[in-house]
Structure 1
Amino acid sequence: MSMYKGKRSRLAAIVIIPALMASTLAACSEGGSTGSTGSASEEQQSGEQSQSLTKLTYWVELFPDAAAIMKSYGEVTAWKEIEARTGVQLEFQHPAQGQLAEQFNLLVASNKLPDVVDFGWNSYPGGAQKAIRDKKIVPLNDYLEDAPNLKALLDANPEWRKMASTDDGNIIGFPFIREDVTQQVFLGPAIRQDWLDKLNLSSPTTIDEWYTVLKAFKERDPNGNGEADEIPILIPAGELAFAGAFGTPNDFFREQDTVKYGPIEPGFKDYLATMNRWYDEGLLDKDFATTDSKMRDAKITGNQVGSTVLFLNGGIGKYMDLMAKSQPEFKIVGTTYPTLNAGDKPVFGYIDNPVTGIFAAITGSNKNVDETVKFLDYLYSEEGKLIMNFGKEGETYTLVDGQPKYTDAVLNNPNGLPISQSFRSHIMGATSGPFVQDVRHTQQYTTKPEQKEAMALWSAPTHENRMPPVSIAAQDSSRYASIMTDVNTYKDEMMLKFITGAESLDKFDDYVKALKALGIEEAIQIQQAALERYNDR
């Protein structure tokens, strides 16, 4: 019988979940509050059981801004509190910075895996279903009775369950879930509001209006230094916020249930023609193809860039903070995704899925699957959610009228850490992991009015043509990867040539033929089959 079905080991002598967690699970199964702390007898039992600690090895990426201030997530206040509440000791293992994919591939090639591996398992060669067949991870379907908190979430949100499952219906692992649409919107077009005000211009909504504004930025010296050094717009080739206005994103999309590939559609030629015009007239940064993050920072803080595409916190929030003292009039704000016609509703935009694709999966090397399931499920309880998003009560948050509010330990870090790193040192709500991201965390993390306004504007696209998180079939994965490596290399090369004018757009049809010769039509059919399997999950 498969190790994933039928009988499961019930090791009564090994107690890994103390009574606090046990009472939480019992309360949930009996219809009580998942935040219950249990009876006095249960607390006594917890004290007795705490002498028998379980250790779990847990492999997960250490986010770069966390790596700058800590060696392990074991230093994070939230994880310390989880360990204290449950009695489970976590031994975190982190891949070397900048080597996530390589380290993951080396990890899964070994025979002995950590107990839990937190990763985008659909990136496993052949996908998560292949990882299950290879016995690298244990699907959760037969363990949901021991995971009532996660089960309740998936039962109440069928689309979340689809996103957390393989095409065969196997639940991959414990997902990171964003519970509100505002948490899924964090990137979009942005513009210098102070420049618009100085030139008496309105924020653009159509491609034609964008052209008018960018021309004004180029010709009317909005930075006021008497030099024509303004960069009206700084975006990469194929930028979704602008390619999407032409109905053809720089990737696969769907029209109803038919998969298409944007870069070979007629609308993409119109997009490239627009970018070529902007480039020729000096509106698009002449170094758009080679500008890295440091150069981008220098150009924006150097008062040169009029518009770009930014993150809410790592963009709008970051630059508003950086410029607050040196240039108090500096104001960069979100703007609507452009359309071709005034009044049209944008279709394409940046949005993450509520189930992000990162799963804390129990590996085939784990000897205590049942107990690990109970431990990870605790993080989806109201109590676990509160800890992961807010840390330790009285230290990193307090309850005000029953609502968690961050303390100055987080919001005004005594060690002078910027707010993003301050959050990283205390909670996991800003990153990923096996829990639900609390919307009350997001509301306190994203505080500037410019950020809140941007979030509202960037939430407008319908996303009706967006591809869901499909999985390429294992038998197609090698061929698909080979095709798309060649397609992307050629496509990216030709986009630059078309935009800079090194190649005439009269050659667009030849470019499409070349992509078809490289196998893009076969790749579309592989994506089509993946979409149909996803819809049938």
Structure 2
Amino acid sequence: MKKRVISLMLGMVLTTGLLAGCNGSNGTEGPKPEEGEQAITEISLPIVTEPLTINYWRANDGKIASGNGFSDVKAYQEKEKRTGIKVNFTHPPLGQQKDQFNLLVTGNELPDIIYYNWADVSGGPEKLLADGRIVRLNEYIDLYAPNLKKIIAEDEEVRKQISLDDGTIFMFPYLRTDAVKLNATTGLILRQDWLDKLSLKAPTTIDEWYTVLKAFREQDPNGNGKKDELPFTANWGPGNMSKLLDFTPAFGVLGSFQLNGDTVEFGPIQPGYKDFVTTMRKWYEEGLIDPEVMTNDGKAFDYKITNNQAGSYYGGVFSGMAKYLNMMAEKDPNFNLVGAPWTKDKDGVSRSTFRFDTKVLTYGEAITSSVDKDKLKAIVQWMDYNYSPEGHDLFNFGIENESYTRNGDSIAFTDTILKNPNGLTYDQALAGYALSIMDGPMNQDTRYLDALMTFDQQKEANKLWMEADYSKALPTLRKTEDEARKEAQIMGQVNTYIDEMLTKFVLGSEPLTSYDTFVETIKGMGIEEVTKIYQDAYDRYQAR
């Protein structure tokens, strides 16, 4: 096995370097590195010569077809051969991850590594650091993780996003350094064949959307003479109108907290939100919105699209486009889909509801305080291997010439993935080889996306959605334990009230003359206090 030497920007550094110099948490820092210990510049394989087993806890993923979870993923099997380190995975039952996680971190027995969505932790990783359940990793990344360290040193946004407000790094993260392309994979989708039949173009403004939806409703684009078309539908689960919020940027607002320059605001109490509600009510009254949006489930949603009823909806390039293009290829050769640009606001700016520049996601691997120094050094190198050139390819694409092939810098998935002989879907097949189709401690590669987008419609939609401005949306922010507690106390009531009132306004069971009362009620619930929490958290983020 060849060894890879990484040339770090800072060369050989001590623990007083780029990462270790950050002010740390008051919580446990784990076993101390030796004074003056030098940083390694390569991960030598195998990492260990004596047997070593890592106990690793993470939730299973439904895409993995086998019943054994991540131990059956070929990337991990190959990694064991290369590193000499065996992994014993523990998976909580699907649907019980959060309860099992809470029991785990409050119990006496901790695994070596926990992979989790740390945004879903009560008190955040800060509390687990303070309680001594996980360890601060700055010094160990500085010493033993040349690949992740190089990424952090070369990308200021990664450094900013991977750090807590005090500079602590606590995880090896799920990364997207080429963020925009990978994040801009969802948006509004329409029937291109209906547009063609009616001599219309994909809408770019809210007025153009009205024109298109009105034509879908009145001009029989499915050609069955019944006028049973549903101009806009969605599958968001019973009880709310949340997918309509994808139209909010057209009115200069978002459906929750938003940025106005560097000032945090709450979208639903801004004037533009009333214009949004008024427009959605008009659409609903005129039959432009599926009357069953409150009860649609996945099966009903699929039926409406594949039975020539749905004209537009919100979806992704895979589950919202490729799925239906494949399903309809033989049933209706004319069936065609197109991505619409994020709707322009009054200033002519196409805006999205979320950020495309998120490079460090909230998922990642943390090391627990149960690990001693000798084992910790090996574990950090084992974790860092995923970010090396070889580990990067392994966890993005799987096994060369088995799950993928190369053509210069491009990669292509084999028929093992795209036309699986055992009848697995492409995502199930790829999940048996690599993590890129799921989430995991790796730097996700855009080439995985390119190789899976087999329809031109997907590629064009992805390209179009990337053009939207996302500056109104907030980045991922850290709250103190007190801030998070206060936010949860207030926003639980606020969000329930907004969901209820949005539904009533759109369905017409609440008159729009009540809108001012709606705004005052939200203010009375303490929204200004939570807005200040977000402002303080945003200011701390900017100061990292």
* TM-score normalised according to structure 1 size: 0.90
User: Which residue matches 1:18?
Assistant: none
- What one-letter code is carried by the residue in structure 2 that aligns with 1:346? S
Of the candidates 129, 132, 138, which is equivalent to residue 129 of structure 2? 132
Query: How far, CA to CA, are the matches of 1:267 and 1:70 in structure 2?
Result: 49
User: Which residue matches 2:32?
Assistant: 7
SS at match of 1:310: strand
Query: How far, CA to CA, are the matches of 1:340 and 1:401 in structure 2?
Result: 42
Query: How far, CA to CA, are the matches of 1:423 and 1:414 in structure 2?
Result: 13
User: Which residue matches 2:204?
Assistant: 205
User: Which residue matches 1:459?
Assistant: 466
User: Which residue matches 1:370?
Assistant: 377
Query: How far, CA to CA, are the matches of 1:402 and 1:440 in structure 2?
Result: 9
SS at match of 1:469: coil
- Structure 1 stretches lacking a partner, 5+ long: 11-24
Of the candidates 268, 289, 297, which is equivalent to residue 292 of structure 1? 297
Task: Note if 1:448 corresponds to 2:455.
Answer: yes
Q: Spell out, residue by residue over 1:56-80, the C-alpha distance to the aligned partner (whole angstroms, 9 max, x if none).
A: 11112222222x4443111111111
Of the candidates 45, 54, 57, which is equivalent to residue 55 of structure 2? 57
Tell me, yes or no, if the aligned pair for 1:189 and 1:308 is still in contact at 8 Å: yes
Q: Runs of at least 4 residues of structure 1 off by over 6 A?
A: none
User: Which residue matches 1:115?
Assistant: 112
SS at match of 1:467: coil
User: Which residue matches 1:348?
Assistant: 352
Query: How far, CA to CA, are the matches of 2:494 and 2:388 in structure 1?
Result: 45
User: Which residue matches 1:244?
Assistant: 249
Structure 1 residues 532 and 340: CA distance shift in structure 2, 3 A: closer
Shift of 1:402: 5.9
Query: How far, CA to CA, are the matches of 1:3 and 1:106 in structure 2?
Result: 20
Tell me, yes or no, if the aligned pair for 1:62 and 1:73 is still in contact at 8 Å: yes
User: Which residue matches 1:413?
Assistant: 420
Shift of 1:498: 0.5
Shift of 1:340: 4.0
User: Which residue matches 1:274?
Assistant: 279
Shift of 1:398: 3.1
Tell me, yes or no, if the aligned pair for 2:185 and 2:462 is still in contact at 8 Å: yes
Task: Note if 1:316 corresponds to 2:321.
Answer: yes
User: Which residue matches 1:360?
Assistant: 365
Shift of 1:3: 5.0
Q: Which moved more, 1:347-356 or 1:171-180?
A: 347-356
Structure 1 residues 403 and 191: CA distance shift in structure 2, 3 A: closer
User: Which residue matches 1:224?
Assistant: 223
User: Which residue matches 1:427?
Assistant: 434
Shift of 1:363: 1.3
Query: How far, CA to CA, are the matches of 1:118 and 1:447 in structure 2?
Result: 31
Task: Note if 1:439 corresponds to 2:455.
Answer: no
Number of aligned residue pairs = 506
User: Which residue matches 1:14?
Assistant: none
Query: How far, CA to CA, are the matches of 2:302 and 2:66 in structure 1?
Result: 22
User: Which residue matches 2:338?
Assistant: 333
Task: Note if 1:71 corresponds to 2:68.
Answer: yes
Task: Note if 1:85 corresponds to 2:63.
Answer: no
Tell me, yes or no, if the aligned pair for 1:348 and 1:461 is still in contact at 8 Å: yes
Structure 1 residues 231 and 5: CA distance shift in structure 2, 3 A: same
Query: How far, CA to CA, are the matches of 2:184 and 2:269 in structure 1?
Result: 28
- What one-letter code is carried by the residue in structure 1 that aligns with 2:352? F
Shift of 1:399: 3.3
- What one-letter code is carried by the residue in structure 2 that aligns with 1:289? M
Shift of 1:305: 0.5
Query: How far, CA to CA, are the matches of 2:245 and 2:154 in structure 1?
Result: 32
Task: Note if 1:172 corresponds to 2:163.
Answer: no
Query: How far, CA to CA, are the matches of 1:273 and 1:463 in structure 2?
Result: 24
Shift of 1:365: 2.1
Tell me, yes or no, if the aligned pair for 1:138 and 1:361 is still in contact at 8 Å: yes
Query: How far, CA to CA, are the matches of 1:106 and 1:362 in structure 2?
Result: 17
Query: How far, CA to CA, are the matches of 1:166 and 1:153 in structure 2?
Result: 17
- What one-letter code is carried by the residue in structure 2 that aligns with 1:457? L
- What one-letter code is carried by the residue in structure 2 that aligns with 1:378? Y
Query: How far, CA to CA, are the matches of 1:357 and 1:168 in structure 2?
Result: 17
Query: How far, CA to CA, are the matches of 1:337 and 1:113 in structure 2?
Result: 45
Tell me, yes or no, if the aligned pair for 1:187 and 1:350 is still in contact at 8 Å: no
Tell me, yes or no, if the aligned pair for 1:75 and 1:425 is still in contact at 8 Å: yes
Percent sequence identity over aligned pairs: 40
Of the candidates 513, 530, 543, which is equivalent to residue 536 of structure 1? 543
Q: Which moved more, 1:527-536 or 1:293-302?
A: 293-302
Shift of 1:199: 1.1
Tell me, yes or no, if the aligned pair for 1:349 and 1:458 is still in contact at 8 Å: no
- What one-letter code is carried by the residue in structure 2 that aligns with 1:8? P
SS at match of 2:63: helix
- Structure 2 stretches lacking a partner, 5+ long: 1-25
Structure 1 residues 402 and 465: CA distance shift in structure 2, 3 A: closer
- What one-letter code is carried by the residue in structure 2 that aligns with 1:488? N
User: Which residue matches 1:234?
Assistant: 233
Shift of 1:55: 0.8
Shift of 1:394: 3.0
Tell me, yes or no, if the aligned pair for 2:217 and 2:231 is still in contact at 8 Å: yes
Query: How far, CA to CA, are the matches of 1:2 and 1:292 in structure 2?
Result: 45
SS at match of 2:536: helix
SS at match of 1:65: coil
Structure 1 residues 515 and 437: CA distance shift in structure 2, 3 A: same
SS at match of 1:259: strand
Structure 1 residues 403 and 282: CA distance shift in structure 2, 3 A: closer
Tell me, yes or no, if the aligned pair for 1:173 and 1:361 is still in contact at 8 Å: yes
SS at match of 2:228: coil
- What one-letter code is carried by the residue in structure 2 that aligns with 1:399? R
Structure 1 residues 371 and 286: CA distance shift in structure 2, 3 A: same
Query: How far, CA to CA, are the matches of 1:71 and 1:504 in structure 2?
Result: 54
User: Which residue matches 1:499?
Assistant: 506
User: Which residue matches 2:3?
Assistant: none
Tell me, yes or no, if the aligned pair for 1:185 and 1:350 is still in contact at 8 Å: no
Shift of 1:351: 4.3
Query: How far, CA to CA, are the matches of 1:231 and 1:365 in structure 2?
Result: 56
- What one-letter code is carried by the residue in structure 2 that aligns with 1:186? T
User: Which residue matches 2:486?
Assistant: 479
Structure 1 residues 383 and 255: CA distance shift in structure 2, 3 A: same
User: Which residue matches 1:196?
Assistant: 195
Shift of 1:393: 2.4
- What one-letter code is carried by the residue in structure 2 that aligns with 1:534? Y
Query: How far, CA to CA, are the matches of 2:510 and 2:432 in structure 1?
Result: 50
Query: How far, CA to CA, are the matches of 1:485 and 1:268 in structure 2?
Result: 20
Q: Spell out, residue by residue over 1:118-145, the C-alpha distance to the aligned partner (whole angstroms, 9 max, x if none).
A: 1122322111212211112112111122
SS at match of 1:278: helix
Tell me, yes or no, if the aligned pair for 2:395 and 2:442 is still in contact at 8 Å: yes
Task: Note if 1:380 corresponds to 2:378.
Answer: no
Structure 1 residues 279 and 402: CA distance shift in structure 2, 3 A: closer
Matches within 5 A, 1:38-53: 46=46, 50=49, 52-53=50-51
Shift of 1:244: 1.4
- What one-letter code is carried by the residue in structure 2 that aligns with 1:285? D
Structure 1 residues 83 and 507: CA distance shift in structure 2, 3 A: same
Tell me, yes or no, if the aligned pair for 2:140 and 2:377 is still in contact at 8 Å: yes
